[in-house]
Amino acid sequence: MNPVIVVGVDGSAAATAAVEWAADDAARAAARLLIVHAVDRSPYETARFPALGLGDAVTLSAESVLADAEAVARKRQPGIDVTSELSQGAAAAVLRGQAGDAAEVVIGGRGLSGLPGAMLGSVSTHVAGHARGPVVVVRSDPDTSHGEIVVGLDDYHACEPALAYAFEQAMLRASTLRAVYTWQLPNHAHISETIHDLDQIHADQCQIAAGILKGWRQQYPQVAVVEDIRRAHPVDALVSASEKADLVVVGSQGRGAIGTVMLGSVTLGVLYHARNSVAVVRP
């Protein structure tokens, strides 16, 4: 069975960009595209007056949102298999539930409920923080191509799912993969940098990064890889690299119970500040 890419829609411009992104990914991966719109009736219900007679209007509006999204997907990629689904419940919970069987979940950076000026909506934050597998938060023009995928490296096994996704994306897109690995000196203000051999430290970090990538290079020999080793904070380095990237891929090591904690500070920082789309890949 072909893999399934799920895209959440709400009728916003951000959701339309997400549909276009997901349709392109479905075409590249020979995947089925499932467009999902969630209807949360709880704001319209009371114990004595369920839905206050708004059920038909809400359903009609939801069906219109799905029909418009399907039209966008079919126009974008006429050859893909597209279906749609109207689900009941809060959008974040619905999309989180869909993630278990999906190759990836795609959402806009900020939907209709987002605050003006906000870089990331609450639904995007929740889904990226809790859903298993890749979650792509689209915030770039799908028609703009830089020919480069960026992935953040660390020396923990937690980055392996992100690397698998990043290499696969780079292969499908015939793009260069920029692997960003950062290092920093210990934050001891009373110790001068002059006592450190910065060149040797940098060389050691390059060896670590090369070791992380060695097996993946062998598995994906067709992917051109740039090892980008920087002395910088990882959020600063990844945000800087995002300016000329079609996608930034990060793992997530957060283990807390709250959505933002689940993401980890680096992942959350990249999500909020990256210039282009971001994929968060949780195991």
The mean pLDDT value for 212-225 works out to: 97
CA angle 283, 147, 275 (to 5 degrees): 65
Residue 70 lies in a domain: yes
| pLDDT bucket at 59, cuts 50 / 70 / 90 | confident
| Count of alpha carbons within 13 angstroms of residue 11, beta-carbon side | 11
The domain total for the chain is: 2
Do the domain assignments include residue 132?
A: yes
Out of 81, 106, 138, pick the residue that ends a domain.
138
The reply to whether 202 and 128 lie within a common domain is no
- Flag whether pLDDT at 51 surpasses 50: no
**Is the residue at 143 inside a domain?**
no
Structure tokens at 9: 């829609």
Residue 187 belongs to what H/E stretch? none
CA 126 to chain centre: 12
Q: Return the H-helix or E-strand segment holding 247.
A: strand 247-251
Angstrom distance (rounded) from CA 283 to CA 110:
24
Percent share of the chain, pLDDT over 70 = 81
Q: Judge whether residue 127 has pLDDT over 80.
A: yes
- Name, in order, each residue with C-beta under 8 angstroms of 200's C-beta and a sequence gap of 6 or more: none
Whether residue 236 sits in one domain with residue 124: no
Does residue 41 share a domain with residue 156?
no
Pair (181, 220) in one structural domain: yes
Residues 108 and 155 in one domain: no
Q: Write the CATH number for 90.
A: 3.40.50.620
Residue type, 245: A
Residue 56 domain-assigned (yes or no) = yes
150 with 242: CB under 8 angstroms?
yes
Sign of the C-alpha dihedral computed for residues 168, 173, 175 and 178 taken in this order: negative
Shared domain check, 113 and 64: yes
Contact 19, 74 (CB under 8 A): no
pLDDT value of position 121: 66
Asked whether residue 86 falls in the same domain as residue 179, the answer is: no
pLDDT at position 257 is 40
- Domain span at residue 14 reads 4-138
pLDDT at position 111: 53
Residue 85: C-alpha distances to residues 90, 206, 224 (Å): 14, 47, 38
Do 114 and 183 belong together in one domain? Answer: no
192 and 210 belong to one structural domain:
yes
276 and 236 fall within a common domain? yes
Q: Which residues of 108-121 are buried (b: 16+ CB within 10 A; e: fewer)?
A: bbbbeebeeeeebb
Residue at which a domain ends, from 81, 116, 138: 138
Q: Does residue 221 have a pLDDT over 60?
A: yes
- The mean pLDDT of 7-16, rounded to a whole number, is 94
Q: Rounded to 5 degrees, what are φ and ψ at 281?
A: -115, 105
Residue 133: band (very low, low, confident or very high) from pLDDT cuts 50, 70, 90: confident
Residue 44 has pLDDT above 80, yes or no: no
Tell me how far apart the alpha carbons of residues 275 and 127 are, in angstroms, rounded to a whole number: 20
Residues 128 and 9 both lie in one domain: yes
